Amino acid sequence: INATIWGAAFLLINKTLGRRFADLGKGAEILAQGDLNYRFRGGGNDEINKLSMAFNEMAERLKQSYEGLSVETVNRQEAETALEDSRSRFSELADHIEDVFWVASPDWGRIYYVSSAYERIWGRSRLSLYKNSKSWLSIISEADRPMLYRFLVARNPHERDEIVFPEFRVMQPDGSMRW
């Protein structure tokens, strides 16, 4: 009789534990499929219940992290869209200015943007200026270079204000001069 009772008790405990472990496995699958709302119901003070409560805490933290990530993703997408709109409006405006318009580093070591008027007025591609940011200096009339160099040297390289250059001549690729 004792063996029968122990056997029945073992089967009952095994069935109960098996069901609880199966529930944990099912919960892990549900969580892995993206349902971050799944939670175990509490019951008891044994190790399996503690594991279930730890699972619930982990699921709640995952849900909060996911929600925060979703908000950050939306904010980033909105910022990228606003930046692209701003770039588009800037390019449209700058490309319709009759004069050459450019944005460069304070030391002229890098050109960030040059308007399409550069190609028309200077007779050279914008790409050539992006590749060699100081190439524009070599095509200024030799008679005007000293005056322009003095102007540039007198400027504070850390000023971020608009620079209005004195008038000077530019040598065109065909050898003619343009004001």
Q: What is the pLDDT along the chain (179 residues), one digit of tens a residue?
A: 566 665 555 555 555 666 777 787 888 888 888 888 888 776 677 887 888 888 889 899 988 988 888 888 989 999 999 999 998 888 888 778 888 888 888 888 899 989 888 998 889 999 999 999 999 888 999 999 999 888 888 877 677 677 788 889 999 888 888 87
Q: What is the pLDDT of residue 119?
A: 92
Phi/psi at 12 (5° precision): -65, -45
Pick from 140, 146, 104, 143: which is nearest to 124 by CA? Answer: 140
